[in-house]
């Protein structure tokens, strides 16, 4: 009986872990190095404006990769992805038909009630789409109007050096701003599209994420 209990406990632990953090994201191939380097430099520029999600060690490693010309662009691009992917909450894939699907990334994000937190979003833009990427969901606050069921503000950062539209490059990283208005353990479903009818079939553009939100200090 004790072995059965321990086995059930282990299964429960791994089920919870899968909700909290996703698997390692695949490396995107055939990525142009010059645009990726430019965009990574723009990401680092945002550290002066927001509380950036990258630890100092990762920033130093990324900076070294960006400072030199890539003798092997494919290998350098892969190295950059491995550094940044660990800090991505969600990865979005837009296929050649502009259908959008999304998966949970490996990042674990600690939210604080009424305070903004920024995290990374990885976008594999196979279709070269240049429309804006929209994020919404049943728990996400529309137009700043909250309710008991809608408790989380979620918006892509579109201020310079970013733009409201995607670049059309095969790979880009975007910042996602999250502001929770409730505390405790709460789940939010993130949905994505790049226009009417672009969600992938089978609800694969939806990602449920369980957050642990610290209560605001009074």
Q: Tell me: the pLDDT tens digits for 64-113? A: 999 877 789 999 999 999 999 999 999 999 999 999 999 999 999 999 99
Give a yes or no: residue 198 inside a domain. Answer: yes
Residue 157 CB neighbour total at 10 angstroms: 17
The rounded Cα 89 to chain-centroid distance in angstroms is 4
* Distance (Å, whole) CA 96 – CA 93: 10
Domain count, the chain: 1
Residue 2 located in a structural domain: no
Helix (H) or strand (E) holding 123: strand 117-125
Whether 140 maps to a domain, the answer reads yes
Q: Is residue 8 part of a domain?
A: no
| Residue 205 lies in domain | 23-214
What contacts 29, CB < 8 A, 6 or more positions away?
74
Write the CATH number for 206. Answer: 2.60.40.10
Per residue in 127-162, pLDDT tens? 999 999 999 999 999 765 667 789 999 999 999 889
Note the pTM of the prediction, 2 decimals: 0.86
135 C-beta neighbours (distance < 10 Å), count: 19
């Amino acid at each position: 009986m004790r072995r059965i209990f321990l086995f059930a406990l282990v299964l429960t632990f791994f089920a919870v872990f899968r909700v909290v953090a996703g698997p390692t994201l695949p490396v995107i191939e055939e990525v142009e190095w010059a645009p990726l380097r430019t965009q990574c430099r723009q990401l680092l520029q945002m550290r002066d404006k927001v509380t950036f999600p990258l630890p100092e060690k990762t920033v130093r490693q990324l900076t070294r990769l960006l400072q030199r010309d890539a003798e092997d662009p494919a290998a350098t691009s892969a190295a950059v992805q491995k550094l940044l992917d660990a800090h991505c909450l969600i990865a979005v894939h837009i296929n050649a038909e502009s259908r959008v699907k999304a998966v949970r990334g490996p990042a674990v994000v600690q939210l604080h009630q009424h305070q903004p937190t920024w995290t990374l979003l990885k976008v594999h833009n196979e279709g070269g789409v240049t429309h804006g990427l929209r994020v919404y969901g049943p728990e996400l606050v529309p137009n700043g109007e909250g309710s008991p069921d809608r408790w989380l503000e979620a918006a892509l950062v579109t201020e310079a050096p970013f733009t409201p539209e995607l670049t059309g490059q095969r790979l880009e990283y975007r910042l996602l701003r999250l502001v929770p208005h409730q505390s405790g353990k709460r789940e939010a479903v993130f949905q994505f599209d790049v226009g009417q009818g672009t969600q992938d079939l089978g609800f694969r553009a939806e990602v449920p994420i369980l957050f642990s939100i610290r209560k605001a200090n009074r």
